[in-house]
Amino acid sequence: MEQDDPAEALTELRERQLSALELLQVAAGSSLAAYAVWALLLHPGFRRVPLRLQVPYVGASVRQVEHVLLLLRGRSGKLVDLGSGDGRIVLAAHRCGLRPAVGYELNPWLVRLARLYAWRAGCASSVCYHREDLWKVSLRDCYNVSVFLAPSVLPLLEDKLQAELPEGARVVSGRFPLPTWQPVAVVGEGLDRVWAYDIHSGGPTVQASLAPSSVLVPRVPEPQAG
């Protein structure tokens, strides 16, 4: 068997290393391009929002929507979803009788997507989606509020909710609890966990939170389009 020339082997090794480096560069370039699309299309409104108030979009899961509806069951009055994304919570709440149901979302692409879903469900004239900064929205006539926001903004949100919400309002927070309020009900586990808080004249109701082992999570049948 002919023995390989050391010089040729070294040249081939260098070529292989170069190919791997090129592959890494392509991957890095693709990641940068994906980030550019995310920044320009999914979050164009972020340029007008201070960094500490920015909240990335992560759509609510089917189970999370079920838990929100469970904690709002039997209630009436206006529902507002702050940071409504593609509008799935607003649409589900409307179907369950919470009206008017309104979503506030800064991202114009998500607002358009939410309106498209509402149109496909036959609810285009029944639900409202506004492109508006949630921090500038007045909550003084809102009796049901849904939030799926990042933990970093929840302390500021507590101040806004306590200052603006009327007596008898209920706040439902998904994925993360409000940091200093005590919930009146909790359902779900992990990222599907949802907390409910009630507002009275002195602020949110303070009660002992439920232990995870005592939380029941009945399923809410998925509403059908009318």
By the 8 A CB rule, do 90 and 102 touch?
Answer: yes
Percentage of the chain lying above the pLDDT 70 cut: 64
Tokens of 22: 């090129």
How would you class 209 by CB atoms within 10 Å of its CB: exposed for 0-12, middle for 13-18, buried for 19 or more?
A: middle
Write the CB contacts of 210 (distance below 8 Å, at least 6 apart in sequence): 183, 185, 186
Model confidence band, residue 207 (pLDDT cutoffs 50, 70, 90): very low
Alpha-carbon span 129 to 155, nearest angstrom: 25
Q: Is the sign of the CA dihedral 16, 18, 20, 22 positive or negative?
A: negative
Packing angle of the helix pair 88-95, 108-120 (nearest 10 deg) = 30
What phi, psi does 141 have (nearest 5°)? -115, 20
Q: Is the pLDDT of residue 6 over 90?
A: no
Domains, the chain, in order of start with CATH, read: 62-199 (3.40.50.150)
Q: Is the pLDDT of residue 113 over 80?
A: yes
Global pTM reads 0.69
Write the CB contacts of 13 (distance below 8 Å, at least 6 apart in sequence): none
DSSP state of 152: G
Query: Cα separations (Å) of 91 from 10, 42, 57, 170, 189?
Result: 64, 21, 17, 18, 24
At 51 the pLDDT is 44
DSSP state of 76: -
pLDDT in tens, 19-54: 555 555 555 556 555 544 444 444 444 444 444 445
pLDDT in tens, 127-178: 999 999 999 999 999 999 999 998 989 999 999 999 999 999 999 999 999 9
